[in-house]
Structure 1
Amino acid sequence: MKTEFEGIKINFRNPSWSLNTEGLDVFINCIGKAHDHKGTATEADYYKANYEIAKDIFEEFVKSEASLFIHISSIAAVEENEREELISEESVCRPVSYYGKSKRKAEEFLLGQQLPEGKKVLILRPSMIHGEGDKGNLTLLYKIISRGIPYPLGAFDNSRTFASVDNVVFLINEIIAQKDNMASGVYNICDDQPLSTRKIIEIIGKVRQSNPPVWKIPKSLINLMSKIGNVASLPLNSKRLGKMTSNLLVSNVKIKKALGINDLPLSAEQGMIKTIKSFTKSS
């Protein structure tokens, strides 16, 4: 189902921002601070972007005639490292970073509000979103592989759930189109299948028509190198190692059931291929 919507954008970097809510029916809060490539972000920076602004936008929503508030949270509000069991909307939240904690605080605020009649709040928790313009660990992995540098983490065998930006947009469009049938609450957003880092490397090789070398360096040595990277500002540190080698599986059963969807438009592999192809165009 393809639906066209008209929208307006607000720049919240402007401290004197204002919002004309006349004629608005849906609010989508996709503001957030996740990356800190320069290492200069403070705790206050994260809470301002991920919590305070969410409160401000929600207050505008309550005063407006809009019926639906969609808040883009993150699976980091639940888990940021590794979890053995499948993560559902009922899983215990245990964020550890300023990012995850600030995202969770915004969720707690929204879930604790008494909504006026006729209004709904949907909190979407996407797993790691990827697509054209990605600036996270996928980009780093692609750069390593495309330069012919052997991938050194072959000793790790992991499985993680990602979210193709195309599938995320599809689900948001469906939510808006079916908003009258949606119930307020939390919904996980992710692809239907998980991917391993080895599989992503295989996809990079397929797109580049190459055979990327993979080294199986002992895990103990890799863990030591990541700890050195924590203090020496190396490309590999403990946080990045965890993202690339740990298991984090997320269920999207609830959102698909609510929308009456069996399969998302792109499989996890198709979405990853599309993202990797966008890297080849910009490199």
Structure 2
Amino acid sequence: MIGLHGRFAISKRILLTGATGFVGQALLAELARRGHAIVATSRHAQQLAGAERCIQITDLNGDIDWQQALLGIDVVIHAAARVHVLHDQAADPLAEFRRANVDGTLSLARQAAEAGVRRFVFISSIKVLGEQTRLGIPFRPDNVPRPVDPYGISKREAEDGLLTLAAETGMEAVVVRPPLIYGPGVKGNFANLIKLVERGLPLPLGAIHNKRSLVGIGNLVDLIIRCLDHPAAGNQVFFASDDEDLSTTELMRGVAEAMGKPARLVPVPAGMLQIGATLLGKKAMAQRLLGSLQVDISKTRELLRWTPPYTVQEGLRYCFESSNRLAGR
């Protein structure tokens, strides 16, 4: 699916970090398809299809020497990060997130600027702004950041440092903030929704009237690649989404349809579910299922002349068609 709508541009030399991650794998494949020369980094020593050269980075931090990786590089896409952990066992989670996501990011960016890299594209997160929005009042790129967890705090601090560095050095920084990302091989909250549908049990999610923004991996990759050389992208912050917000009920039905399974959703009032979840100590889970989190991508559409190339329905079908092919089903 990724690439059907892509436009080929002048080939660039790109350093892609986190090339074996969920986003990184999709980016690597599409960048290679478009003819770019890619230096890829990953946690494991391995050759990656589509990469000209691969570099092992086992621990993202501020002490890494990136000099050899940055030779001749035009653009850095920084997708590597210490990601959100539901049950973090670190003694000081914020310190660990800062070490990887702030120190590691800014050290790479400083060395990139010194090496003459023209643009640094940073994959951030909507968590920089917070965990939820009021229904119908989406986040906008100029909203004041209010992260509530160590991951979001670290991403905000990295963004601030990058934009300051860009002003000091002349290297352009581009920040992309995606909400929940879905696609083949997705993990986390979206994978949990898939498991619920696969079990085929009745679920009390048939009357949820929230709205949440999502972004399919094909749309996110297309936007990131647009940010590589668009003249209006420099030193800007952009939101990514499918531009089609869904309620949890609508999303569950869409997932079931894409999987070819029935959606057994029982219409239970959201207030009752909230009370039950609170009594069971599942308040955070209830917030993800019942609350809203919307983003306004009008700036992305207007400044970059970008429209999501894939609908939610296409993104969900791609998610499960690709997974079924990989599983031999």
1:33 has 2:82 as partner: yes
- Residue equivalent to 1:233: none
- Residue equivalent to 1:272: 316
CA–CA distance in 1 between the matches of 2:249 and 2:166? 46
Give 1:240 deviation, angstroms. Answer: 2.2
- Judged with a 3 Å threshold, the aligned counterparts in structure 2 of structure 1 residues 183 and 17 are, in CA distance, closer, same or farther, namely closer
Gaps spanning 5+ residues in structure 2: where? 1-6, 9-33, 42-55
Check the 8 A contact 2:181/2:216 in 1, yes or no.
Answer: yes
CA–CA distance in 1 between the matches of 2:139 and 2:255? 28
Residue identity over aligned pairs, in percent, reads 24
- Aligned residues: CA RMSD: 2.3
Q: 3-state SS of the aligned residue for 1:8?
A: strand
Check the 8 A contact 2:208/2:269 in 1, yes or no.
Answer: no
Question: Post-superposition, which runs of at least 4 consecutive aligned residues in structure 1 deviate over 6 A?
Answer: none
Q: Structure 2-normalised TM-score?
A: 0.76
- Residue equivalent to 2:151: 99
The residue correspondences of 1:157-196 to structure 2 (distance < 5 A) are 157-178=209-230, 180-196=231-247
- Counterpart of 2:176 (choices 98, 116, 124) is 124
Deviates more, 1:96-105 or 1:263-272: 263-272
The residue correspondences of 1:1-283 to structure 2 (distance < 5 A) are 1-2=7-8, 3-10=34-41, 11-14=56-59, 17-19=64-66, 20=68, 21-41=70-90, 42-84=93-135, 85-113=137-165, 115=167, 118-178=170-230, 180-230=231-281, 237-261=282-306, 263-280=307-324, 282=327
- Residue equivalent to 2:26: none
Check the 8 A contact 1:191/1:252 in 2, yes or no.
Answer: no
- Judged with a 3 Å threshold, the aligned counterparts in structure 2 of structure 1 residues 63 and 49 are, in CA distance, closer, same or farther, namely same
- Judged with a 3 Å threshold, the aligned counterparts in structure 2 of structure 1 residues 34 and 150 are, in CA distance, closer, same or farther, namely farther
- Judged with a 3 Å threshold, the aligned counterparts in structure 2 of structure 1 residues 114 and 12 are, in CA distance, closer, same or farther, namely same
CA–CA distance in 1 between the matches of 2:169 and 2:57? 28
CA–CA distance in 2 between the matches of 1:39 and 1:148? 31
Q: 3-state SS of the aligned residue for 2:98?
A: helix
The residue type equivalent to 1:36 in the other structure is: V
Residue by residue over 1:135-184, the C-alpha shift from the partner in whole angstroms, topping out at 9 and shown as x without a partner, is 11111111111111222233321111111111111111122243x44331
Give 1:229 deviation, angstroms. Answer: 4.7
Gaps spanning 5+ residues in structure 1: where? 231-236
Of structures 1 and 2, the one scoring higher in RCO (CA 8 A, sep 6+) is 1
